[in-house]
Amino acid sequence: MIDPRVASGLRDIPPSAMIPRERMLETLRKTFASFGFVPIETPHIERMEVLTGKGAGSDEVLRQIFEVTNKGGTPGELALRFDLTVPLARFVARHVDQLGTPFKRYAIGSVFRGERPAKGRFREFTQCDFDTVGTESVVADAETAQVIHDSLAAIGLDGFTLCLNNRKILDGLLDSFGVIDRKSAVLRALDKLGKIGREGVLSELTATESTGATLSDDHARALLDFVEQGKGSGETVLTMAEDRLSSHATAAEGIANLRQVLELLDAAGVPQNRVTIDLGLARGLDYYTGIVFETTVDGWERFGSISSGGRYDDLASLYIKRRLPGVGASIGLDRLIALMEEAKRLPTSATTVPVLVAQFPGVNPGTSVRLAARLRAAGIGAEVYPEPISIGKQMGYGSNRGHKLAVIVGPDEDANQVFNLRMLATRHEDKGLAWSTLEDSIRSALGILEQHEAHEPTPPGPTG
């Protein structure tokens, strides 16, 4: 016999995990679409040249690439995509003349990386990306943050923080120190602040080996002060930054951008306490050139950012000459779900329908099929148990799966055109309800159950 396992680093997603996942994906699609982002799909398989093109992916990612060959194909020509950004760049390069700009697209799909398998790290995972391509507008910058916010809020996440920065501000500071040429080394050192602390970073910033940042002690301290004071609510931080850097054109641009983004987020109704500035935030070093975003769930910061993104200068420069600036972000569905699961805020159910219609031994199954079809036509999901086994077993199936109500029609009920309605959690049963009242009875029973559930205490967690 063949072992039915999956390959290392891959996974099956069972219904109990897929049901909330599907619900989240639907919410994301709806939210993206409500802003005018439109869906595209690109193949899972790309030409190797597209994936490995200079600058397309980091060396780390390229080492993890999955090669694809079919019989008669040339080895090394094809591979599985490792993100949705390279395919977007290729897609836009190929189709931009028909698409026109601004082009706002979302894409949701699997990407593949041959990472060393570890808990919560998979070789195939889902990315949910949205981007606005072909504009440098600050309105698009703010909208990107707004979409992150509205998506997470729509999913039902409550306490989360959207953290903004603009790469131009730190650039301006380093330029004012005359050390912009050592930016990479400086940012690498800064990035360790959480791990090695201020003194550790100070000594890295002032290190003088050839790969080092080689900042003077004064500059290193000033930089650390700036970054440490540059964390918090918008107005305070931006005023501080303006005091220090308003005379530097690039930095002033970055500050003005963030100020306007905050204003637009306010106009869009994004609560101010969900937005914060972090002038040390330096994600996507080689890629982002303007505003950058990270999002953490309050109290669950150790899970890292669940939605990140930023503005880039030129999306498709590997393929076409036309310059295409853009801004976008990605929602890390797998990380978000892992977090909600750990916080015990993922509803667990193995069914999506509230009603199980039992099949009573000896009763024509047409009765159950007819009643279930009526419920579905009324917008109420209903599952017919396929076999006339004992009612007790059918109720057990419903309880395990998470059905809320069972409709039972025995021979007497069938003859009298009535049904019994059982609440599966309490086993309470209303008997002899007329078939003609089916939809109303079910609706009212579901309403009562919902009220009960709303009054149950919920465990503390990140979602509300």
CB of 85 to its own copies, least distance (A): 14
Q: Segment 408-447, which members bind its own copies (CB under 8 A)?
A: none
Q: Segment 14-33, which members bind its own copies (CB under 8 A)?
A: 14-15, 18-19, 21-22, 26, 29, 33
Instruction: Look at residues 134, 129, 135, 133 and name the one whose alpha carbon lies nearest to residue 148.
Output: 129
Scanning 34-42, 171-179, 427-435, 445-453 for contacts with its own copies by CB under 8 A, the matching segment is: 34-42
Around Cβ 180, how many Cβ atoms within 10 Å?
Answer: 15
Residue carrying structure tokens 């570890």:
118
* Element of type H or E holding 236: helix 234-245
Contact (Cβ atoms closer than 8 angstroms) between residue 146 and residue 119: no
Q: Which residues contact 433 (CB under 8 A, 6 or more apart)?
A: 418, 419, 420, 421, 441
Scanning 39-47, 178-186, 229-237, 301-309 for contacts with its own copies by CB under 8 A, the matching segment is: 39-47
Residue 328 gets which letter from DSSP? E
In this chain, which of 99, 180, 207, 449 binds its own copies, going by CB under 8 A?
Answer: 99
> Is position 45 an interface residue for its own copies (rule: CB under 8 A)?
yes
**# chain residues binding its own copies, by CB under 8 A:** 114
The tokens describing 377, both together, are 């036509």
Q: How far apart (Å, rounded) are the C-alpha atoms in residues 215 and 197?
A: 17
In this chain, which of 66, 177, 287, 300 binds its own copies, going by CB under 8 A?
Answer: 66
CB of 64 to its own copies, least distance (A): 7
User: Per-residue DSSP letters for 183-223?
Assistant: HHHHHHHHTTHHHHHHHHHHHHHT--STTS----HHHHHHH
Instruction: Return the bridge partners of 356, or none.
Output: 383, 406
> Is position 392 an interface residue for its own copies (rule: CB under 8 A)?
no
Contact (Cβ atoms closer than 8 angstroms) between residue 180 and residue 252: no
The tokens describing 260, both together, are 């306007």
C-alpha pair distances (Å), 386 with each of 19, 375, 389, 397? 22, 17, 9, 12
> Is position 71 an interface residue for its own copies (rule: CB under 8 A)?
yes
* β-pairing verdict for 355-357 and 405-408: parallel
* Element of type H or E holding 46: strand 45-47
Instruction: Return the bridge partners of 407, or none.
Output: 357, 421
Instruction: Look at residues 63, 56, 61 and name the one whose alpha carbon lies nearest to residue 85.
Output: 56
* Minimum CB distance to its own copies smaller for 305 or for 351: 351
> Is position 110 an interface residue for its own copies (rule: CB under 8 A)?
yes
* Minimum CB distance to its own copies smaller for 18 or for 187: 18
User: Per-residue DSSP letters for 105-141?
Assistant: EEEEEEEE--PPPBTTB-SEEEEEEEEEES---HHHH
CB of 226 to its own copies, least distance (A): 29
> Is position 453 an interface residue for its own copies (rule: CB under 8 A)?
no
CB of 381 to its own copies, least distance (A): 4
Contact (Cβ atoms closer than 8 angstroms) between residue 404 and residue 355: yes
In this chain, which of 196, 249, 285, 377 binds its own copies, going by CB under 8 A?
Answer: 377
> Is position 93 an interface residue for its own copies (rule: CB under 8 A)?
yes
CB of 17 to its own copies, least distance (A): 9
CB of 409 to its own copies, least distance (A): 13
Q: Segment 119-178, which members bind its own copies (CB under 8 A)?
A: 123-124, 132, 135, 137-140, 142-143, 146, 150
Q: How far apart (Å, rounded) are the C-alpha atoms in residues 464 and 458?
A: 9
CB of 125 to its own copies, least distance (A): 10
Q: Segment 241-280, which members bind its own copies (CB under 8 A)?
A: 263-264, 266-269
Scanning 57-65, 331-339, 426-434, 453-461 for contacts with its own copies by CB under 8 A, the matching segment is: 57-65
Residue 146: HSE in the Cβ half-sphere, 13 Å Cα cutoff:
20
CB of 222 to its own copies, least distance (A): 35
Contact (Cβ atoms closer than 8 angstroms) between residue 114 and residue 64: yes
* Minimum CB distance to its own copies smaller for 71 or for 455: 71
Q: Segment 171-230, which members bind its own copies (CB under 8 A)?
A: none
Site string for its own copies, 331-370 (x = CB under 8 A): -------------------xxxx--x--x-----xxxxxx
> Is position 46 an interface residue for its own copies (rule: CB under 8 A)?
yes
* Minimum CB distance to its own copies smaller for 181 or for 263: 263
Q: Segment 311-330, which members bind its own copies (CB under 8 A)?
A: 316, 318-321
Q: Which residues contact 82 (CB under 8 A, 6 or more apart)?
A: 51, 57, 61, 64, 65, 111, 112, 113
* Minimum CB distance to its own copies smaller for 97 or for 199: 97
* Minimum CB distance to its own copies smaller for 48 or for 255: 48
CB of 163 to its own copies, least distance (A): 21
